[in-house]
Structure 1
Amino acid sequence: MSQNFFQPFVILLLVTDPVGNVPLFVSALSHVPAERRATVVIRECAIAFVILLLFMFFGRHFLLAVQLTDISLRIGGGVILFLIALRMVFPQPGGVFGDGEADDHEPFIVPLAIPALAGPSALVTVLLFSSSSAIESLLHVAVLSLVAVVWLVVLLSAERMQRVLGARVMTAVERLMGLILTAMAVEMLLAGVRAYVKSL
């Protein structure tokens, strides 16, 4: 039972990568008033949790309804991650997600809940967690809940981490995570292409 809990927990934690998302959250929340940032983080984590939970139980039905396959989800997700990674490695005036609106703009759902936390990789992962067994379903819900707690702990301290490490270190981390994310995006694309070729 412990292995059935620990393995999906580690997989989902690595896929959602809260530590790697710290630069993304700091950048996206830079124009949000300081007193609102914790509320926004909690709200976005809750939205991401609900989306992943719904996808865990109804994802396969949704894909069948719109005639999409896991392969198309992987390839589309790889393209999105690659574009985001390019903005992290080569910063642009609009920010990581190209959102250059007014200073009082508060991100909602996009880009923090989706795709930062509940991105294509996370959706595919929870899709694989779907099970007909009630016990396994409850176990996976517990896994997702614990991962969401880790999100909150890490991301609520993101601003403090930025102050301690400094802007230059955070920029270096963002570039490094962009490089890693680029590799992950390419790997996702290649996996999708391989799966598509095998299906022919």
Structure 2
Amino acid sequence: MSGDFLNIFTASFVTFFVLIDALGVAPIFASLTARGNAAYRRNMAVRSILVATLIIFGFAFFGAWLLQQLKITIDAFRAAGGVLLFLIALDMVFEKRTERRETRADEYLEEHETPEDVSVFPIGIPMLAGPGSIATAMLFMSESESWMEKSAVLSAIGANMVLCLLVFLVASPLVKAMGESVAGAITRIFGVILAALSAQLLIDGIIGAFGV
């Protein structure tokens, strides 16, 4: 494994780890699947990861083509992505993102008294494959100049999906062990990191667009 591959993989993995926030989604997954048995929870974990992976990979491969058809430059997309990620970061720091996830989960539970398929909505979309992760996958793949770089990005996405699956499979005991305070602190730390990443994307997009 070359140094360039490892560097790109590490940077991409950290970015998607912060964006997807498996530890933050785990309590929501646990609450949505609490009414089912162990087999149901395993099935929902596997299916939600497959759904999210297919969506993110789909935009990663065809996102650049879509931008080209819409005549959107990569610098404009980079700047817009920076703004979008910064808004997500603010939500994470002030726990608005967690509140929305919990509200969405509560509304779903109120409407469905018996366990149903939650793998597509709301777990797969938008909790895992949300606007931030989709936009970032498109951006990273568009910026990759070789298949080595693209494979590093895709490997990082795949590794995060595997990590999410492992977290979901142990969601109930994990949530009990962490507690709400620890989970909230982790989400805030991720938010600060994401804010710094988003600011860099915005700066790079402005510099590229205006040739500063």
What is the distance in 2 between the residues matched to 1:147 and 1:67? 31
| Counterpart amino acid of residue 137 in structure 2 | A
Q: 1:153 to 1:54 in 2, by over 3 A?
A: same
Counterpart of 1:161 in structure 2 is 174
**Structure 1 stretches lacking a partner, 5+ long:** none
Q: CA deviation at 1:95?
A: 1.5
Corresponding position of 1:148: 161
C-alpha distance in 2 between matches for 1:151 and 1:145: 10
After superposition, the C-alpha distances for 1:59-117 in whole angstroms (9 at most, x for unaligned) are 3222111111212222222222222222222234982459546142740411321236x
Judge which range, 47-56 or 73-82, deviates more: 47-56
Q: Is the 8 A contact 1:86 1:178 kept in 2?
A: yes
Distance 1:161 1:98 in 2: 17
How much does 1:25 deviate?
0.8
Greater Cα offset, 187-196 or 148-157: 148-157
Q: Structure 1: how far apart are the matches of 2:22 and 2:89?
A: 14
Partner of 2:15: 15
Change (3 A) 1:94 1:11: closer
Partner of 1:109: 125
Task: Say if 1:78 and 1:189, in contact at 8 Å, map to a contact too.
Answer: yes
Q: 1:94 to 1:49 in 2, by over 3 A?
A: closer
TM-score between both structures, scaled by the size of structure 1: 0.74
* C-alpha separation in 1, matches of 2:211 and 2:150: 34
Q: Which has the higher helix share?
A: 2
129 and 56 in structure 1: CA distance in 2 versus 1, 3 angstrom threshold: farther
- Superposition CA RMSD, Å: 3.5
Residues 92 and 98, structure 1, Cα contact 8 Å, conserved in 2 = no
- For 1:111 and 1:38, locate their aligned partners in 2 and report how far apart those are by CA, in whole Å: 18
Q: Map 1:17-56 to 2 at 5 A.
A: 17=17, 21-26=21-26, 28-29=28-29, 31-34=31-34, 35=36, 38-56=42-60
Check whether the contact 1:84–1:96 (CA below 8 A) recurs between aligned residues: no
Distance 1:84 1:37 in 2: 28
Aligned residues: 195
Sequence identity of aligned pairs in percent?
26
Q: 1:151 to 1:8 in 2, by over 3 A?
A: farther
Q: Quick one: which amino acid aligns to residue 176 of structure 2? A: R
User: Which residue is equivalent to 1:85?
Assistant: 89
Name stretches of at least 5 consecutive residues in structure 2 with no aligned partner.
Answer: 112-117
